[in-house]
Chains A and B, each alone.
Chain A
Amino acid sequence: MTGGPKIGWKGRSSLTAWILGTLTVIFLAYQWLPILTLGLLSFSGPTGGTTFPMNGTSFHWYQELWRASVMNDFKPPLMRSVLLALACSATTVVLSVAAAQAMRGQFRGSGWFFYLMLLGIMAPGILVGFGFAILMRLIGVELSWDTTTFLVQVSWTLPFGFLTMLAVFNRFDKRVEEAALTLGASRLKTFRRITLPLVLPGVIGAGLFGFSLSYDEYARSMFTTGPDATLPLAVMAQLDRQLTPEIYAVGTTTTIFSLIAVMLCTVAFWAMRRSTALRKS
């Protein structure tokens, strides 16, 4: 080679490294700057608007959020959304593990089952929600966030969990299960002691999908929720009425809560890994 230090085929020139690095930073900024902007504006003064400049800094909008009036109280919708997301998450975990397990055994019509499951991802949410609402009215079911919305949202979150679990089981060595069976473990014991611990990262992934997809779902909730709104619906309603930095405070608070939840999950996961690693017979 002439000129410059020789780079192995696995190495990378400093120019490539710079270009890739810059692109990565731009991408991350693109992803996070809007959230940071909202976060920043949520601390603007009592006379502050929803754009720059900030007109001072304060916790005013967070205080507003806390002692909200009946009209714009975000706490009940927040509560509902969190409960709904937890329920969706739990349901997604159980159903997606079960469905992916079923797919491992190739049953009659498993091909159709696969595509029908994925339909939940492809179908436009607003139509699904609307159609579901019409159907419920037809058979005389009262619309409510904890029944109809729950069902519609699970149909949305389940395929994501299902795909996650399929990918996990795809790389799963079924001979470790067979080894357990020949060592005297029943199918249930094998699932509990061998299968589940090994696919746990995927299970947690499916649970996170279930939570986050449900938590900020708007389209599917719009027609199916009934009188008691979830958080995204309440926020949209507030946007229609009056735009204040209080909305930003809501967004920032929930983002922080989500981050804390994810961190707790991660920490719990590592702790569990460690404890099983250290446990001796």
Chain B
Amino acid sequence: MDSLATPLEVVARPQLDLELRGIRKRYGDFTAVDDVSLQVAKGQFVCLLGPSGCGKTTTLRCVAGLEEPDDGGILIGGKEVTKDPPWQRDIAMMFQDFALFPHMTVARQVGFGLEMLKKPKAEIARRVQEVLKAFEISPLADRKPGSLSGGQRQRVALARAMITEPRILLLDEPIGALDYSLRETVMLELKMLQQRTGISFIWVTHDQNEAFSLGDLVVVMNHAKIEQQGTAEEILQRPATAFVAGFVQGNNVFHGRITGTSPDALQVETSAGRFYLPRPVRCTPMLGDAVSFSVRAERITDSLSDRHANRLSARCTAVEYFGSVRRHIFERPDGQVLKYDQFGAYAARIAPGQTVQLGWLVEETVLHTGAVA
């Protein structure tokens, strides 16, 4: 894989909270995690994003020590922990359905981590009080999880995980079990909490809105491998593979073959026509290579000028209106589907059934350099 994905150049802090060195995990014939390497700087908010079964949760469980990788190494705070059991790692974990202890009161389970550290009783009681207050769950201290609402459980789980101030907090779909209306608020709270405490968060999710709005670093996984890692902008604007381009919203993905090269451009032949791409700096595509590229839906236009070297005609099949954006869906006889987003409250110009000339600039076209399509 080409090293488009080097987010750590951006974060120039020397000490790493977490480092994964080519970890691998197999279950029989199924490879759940394949050669995953990752570096998490101190206090970074990392989101592992991918469809279900892509290996993101298994990766998280390897960091927690709940799974032992078959291969590769895990370092937490610079210390090798690959073979260490979970209880000896400087981490805490928040589970998808929170996994609260049903037989313990809120106060008791929030204090559980400190109890395991053999802290004096008085200190535990004092810290529990503080933490319950900080998470605004003091009134629930004597209740058991069975009688709590989803939002309350989430707070208890978070308080329980944070009380020992671990180096890394692992979160497995932490807001997936919450009501939709609660999620936005909770996301914001968690982000602020993370920034305030400086604890590294590793957040597993399949929801790209969560990943892109929260993560300092977003790691997109598919089929047990990392497809791309980088900031939200990098992944949204410069997808490294056809999978990433297709997985994040708003990309039009094309597959084709290189039919011409010049010092600053590539010519690619696809079933939808011939397109021009800026020549990438870091890799050297060869004539005849199968490649994929993408263009974002909002970069396409139907008011063409001479500068729009990439053009095609397509029939509009649907128009969706979202208030701030009008999305047009187009289809071509060769099967290529196109999305074209028009921002602002303009009157509709294109109606379903119409065939329209669309185009975009060469520099808006992104060659996927991370994988051969």
Residues of A within 8 A of B (CB): 173, 175-176, 178-187, 189, 193-194, 197-198, 276-277, 279-281
Contact = CB atoms under 8 A, between A and B. Distances in A.
B53 interface: no
A281 B108 contact: yes
B85 interface: yes
A247 to B, nearest CB: 45
A240 B97 CA distance: 63
Contacts of A173: 99
A255 to B, nearest CB: 34
Nearest to A197: B103
Given A181-B85, A182-B66, A184-B164, A277 B99 contact: no
A197 B103 CA distance: 7
Contact of A280 (B64, B112, B142): B142
Contact of A183 (B105, B141, B142, B160): B160
B101 to A, nearest CB: 6
A128 B99 CA distance: 45
B281 interface: no
A184 B105 contact: no
B300 interface: no
B64 A279 contact: no
Contact of A184 (B97, B116, B170): B116
Interface residues of B, number: 38
Contact of B85 (A186, A198, A281): A186
A95 to B, nearest CB: 24
B105 A185 contact: no
Contacts of A277: 105, 144
Nearest to B128: A281
Nearest to A194: B101
A183 B107 contact: no
Interface string B181-207: 000000000000000000000000000
A183 B97 contact: no
Contact of B95 (A179, A187, A189, A279): A179
Contacts, number: 83
B116 A189 contact: yes
25 contacts: A173-B99, A175-B95, A176-B99, A178-B64, A178-B86, A181-B65, A181-B66, A182-B89, A182-B93, A183-B87, A183-B116, A183-B164, A184-B113, A189-B116, A193-B112, A197-B103, A198-B102, A277-B144, A279-B108, A280-B107, A280-B108, A280-B142, A281-B115, A281-B121, A281-B124
B125 interface: yes
Contact of B87 (A175, A184, A280): A184
Interface of B: 64-66, 85-87, 89, 91-93, 95, 97, 99-105, 107-108, 111-113, 115-117, 121, 124-125, 128, 141-142, 144, 160-161, 164, 170
Contacts of B101: 176, 179-180, 194
Contacts of B160: 179, 183
A193 B128 CA distance: 19
Contacts of B128: 281
Nearest to A178: B66
- In this complex, the member of B105, B125, B164 whose beta carbon has the largest number of chain A beta carbons within 10 angstroms is B105
A275 B108 CA distance: 13
B64 A182 contact: yes
Given A183-B116, A184-B164, A279-B108, A178 B99 contact: yes
A79 B221 CA distance: 67
Contacts of A279: 105, 108
A200 to B, nearest CB: 9
B174 to A, nearest CB: 13
A281 B123 CA distance: 11
Contacts of A197: 103
Contact of B99 (A175, A189, A280, A281): A175
B103 A183 contact: no
Given A184-B164, A281-B105, A281-B107, 18 more contacts: A175-B99, A176-B99, A176-B100, A176-B102, A178-B93, A179-B93, A180-B112, A181-B86, A182-B93, A183-B112, A183-B160, A183-B164, A186-B85, A198-B103, A280-B105, A280-B142, A281-B115, A281-B121
